[in-house]
Structure 1
Amino acid sequence: MENLGYYNGKFGLLEEMTVPMLDRVCYFGDGVYDATYSRNHKIFALDEHIERFYNSAGLLGIKIPHSKEQVKEILKEMVLKVDSGEQFVYWQITRGTGMRNHAFPGDEVPANLWIMLKPLNIKDMSKKLKLITLEDTRFLHCNIKTLNLLPSVIAAQKTEEAGCQEAVFHRCDRVTECAHSNVSIIKDGVLKTAPTDNLILPGIARAHLIKMCKAFNIPVDETAFTLKELMEADEIIVTSSGQFCMATSEIDGKPVGGKAPELVKKLQAALLNEFLEETNAD
């Protein structure tokens, strides 16, 4: 199959899948999601993504009707059904199906598990990104990977209209994260990245970047940084599941970064190698 959808045990081509109109996702966006990539039909960093998935669900009081091991096995079985070994692997849980009511349904209403797979490769890290900055007007629980993504959708549209690839959010002068990525900076050989408080998503790729810096004895400073620090950084790095360590060349039309290219290349090579090793064919 070229792609694959799954809904509560039923699966088929994405173009042919349907879901109930009364699924709470349709009127409340009531659910959480996670995503990663597979290569050679092996899912990268699956344990870490599952942990974040269950943490997000728990923070919203959504009870997933499967164990972590059961969800992992479903995902592993699903990726084998898609022809391409290199896939974008996306899954979400929604708070059940029922007549529209703001209050949660009772425990007798089970949550709904969705899975969506499509062929997709990770990003080419040799290319540099162009960014824009936007005031962060999202709610105060950005640490939950909720399905309520309208602010990020609007930011993505503004980014595309500006001819850029990503938007950097800030609350007053504090940089938080990007519309669908984490952002970190390198200054004087130190990686600086925002703390994992309620204003940013604890990115899996961000965690791998920190781990790799520590392996190379690169100091890591997990404290908030400002727009001024962002613009004056030696390098600006954007991380997400499909782009492990992307450097930046421009923000709001102004040239930035490019002052520590060898350090960036070293991290990119190590992170790519980690991905290739974990997803290597047996």
Structure 2
Amino acid sequence: MQTLGYYDGKYDEIDKMVVPFDDRSHYYGDGVYDATCAGNHVIFNLDEHVDRFFNSAALLKIEIPHTKQEVKDILNEMVKKVDGDELFVYWQVTRAVAPRNHVFPEGQKGRLWVMIRPSKIGDPSKTLKLMTVEDTRFLHCNIKTLNLIPNVMASELGKQHGCNEIVFHRGDIVTECAHSNVHMIKDGVFITHPTDHYILPGISRVHLIKMCKVAGIPVDERPFTVAEMMDADEVIVSSSSNFCLSAHEIDEKPVGGKAPEILATLRKLLMDEYLTAIGRK
């Protein structure tokens, strides 16, 4: 199959899937999601993504209609049926199907959605042009909620300015990007915002920290300012499909390019981990 969708027990090509009008995602964005890549029909870091998915749902008091193992089984079964060596694997749960009412409907479990389609992982050699935008999102960014309008609006603004990604900041403090985590290297130290309620606890962020420790690179989990970022030796953007990309420009000013050896080390370690996980090394 070219693509494959799933909704509440039903499977079909994505463009043939039908979702009930009263699914609460339509009215409120009332749900959470997670996503990762698959290579060689093996889903990368699946356990960690499913753990985060269940944590997000619990924080919004959404009852997922399956156990963690059942969700993994559904995803693993689906990736085997889709053509392509590299796939994008996305899943979400919405609270219920019920007439529009702000309060939670009683006695209903969530509705699971899945989308699988071909998609290449990011080219690690690509450098990014970034743009800073004031972070006006709500104060639960640690929950991977469907409510992404501020991210969408910021991403469109970035596109209009020829930028690849947006860097959010609250006042002077950098938080994260519109759909990635952002980090920096300064004087040989990997610096990343702590996992508080201002950022999503990125899976690739965890693996970057892990590889820093493997390589003997010191890690400092602390807030950093826009000014510090602009003066960093390297600015790194990470996500589940782009493990370790560097920025060459932010707000039309050159940045980074001063610690290529550290970047190369981290990229090799991360790619080796990925290739080993999918059985290609």
The TM-score with structure 1 as length reference comes to 0.99
Q: By how many angstroms is 1:85 displaced?
A: 2.9
After TM superposition, the structure 1 = structure 2 runs for residues 45-124 of structure 1, keeping only pairs within 5 Å, are 45-106=45-106, 108-124=107-123
The one-letter code matched in structure 2 to 1:20 is P
Q: Give the equivalent residue in structure 1 for 2:23.
A: 23
Q: By how many angstroms is 1:281 displaced?
A: 5.5
Q: For residues 52-105 of structure 1, what are the alpha-carbon distances to aligned partners after superposition, in whole Å with 9 as ceiling and x for unaligned? A: 000000000001111000000000000011011310000000001000000001
Structure 1 counterpart SS, 2:167 = strand
Q: By how many angstroms is 1:262 displaced?
A: 1.1
Q: Tell me which stretches of 4 or more aligned residues in structure 1 moved more than 3 Å.
A: none
Structure 1 counterpart SS, 2:200 = coil
Q: For residues 16-51 of structure 1, what are the alpha-carbon distances to aligned partners after superposition, in whole Å with 9 as ceiling and x for unaligned? A: 111000000000000000000000100000000000
Q: Give the equivalent residue in structure 2 for 1:138.
A: 137
The TM-score with structure 2 as length reference comes to 0.99
CA distance in 2, matches of 1:28, 1:205: 29
Distance 1:281 1:212, change over 3 A: closer
> Quick check: 1:79–1:85 contact (8 Å CA) kept in 2?
no
Q: Give the equivalent residue in structure 2 for 1:6.
A: 6
CA distance in 2, matches of 1:10, 1:280: 30
Structure 1 counterpart SS, 2:243 = strand
> Quick check: 1:132–1:166 contact (8 Å CA) kept in 2?
yes
The one-letter code matched in structure 2 to 1:14 is I
> Quick check: 1:138–1:151 contact (8 Å CA) kept in 2?
yes
> Quick check: 2:121–2:242 contact (8 Å CA) kept in 1?
yes
Q: Give the equivalent residue in structure 1 for 2:253.
A: 254
The one-letter code matched in structure 2 to 1:234 is D
The one-letter code matched in structure 1 to 2:72 is K
CA distance in 2, matches of 1:262, 1:215: 15
CA distance in 2, matches of 1:127, 1:76: 30
> Quick check: 2:62–2:109 contact (8 Å CA) kept in 1?
no
Q: Give the equivalent residue in structure 2 for 1:33.
A: 33
Q: For residues 198-228 of structure 1, what are the alpha-carbon distances to aligned partners after superposition, in whole Å with 9 as ceiling and x for unaligned? A: 0000000000000000111100000000001
CA distance in 2, matches of 1:205, 1:28: 29
Q: Give the equivalent residue in structure 1 for 2:237.
A: 238
Structure 1 counterpart SS, 2:244 = strand
Structure 2 counterpart SS, 1:238 = strand
For the aligned residue pairs, the C-alpha RMSD in angstroms reads: 0.9
Q: Give the equivalent residue in structure 2 for 1:181.
A: 180
Q: Give the equivalent residue in structure 1 for 2:146.
A: 147
In structure 2, the gaps of 5 or more residues are: none
CA distance in 2, matches of 1:86, 1:127: 18
The one-letter code matched in structure 1 to 2:116 is L
Aligned length: 281
CA distance in 1, matches of 2:85, 2:196: 35
In structure 1, the gaps of 5 or more residues are: none
Structure 1 counterpart SS, 2:151 = helix
> Quick check: 2:215–2:265 contact (8 Å CA) kept in 1?
no
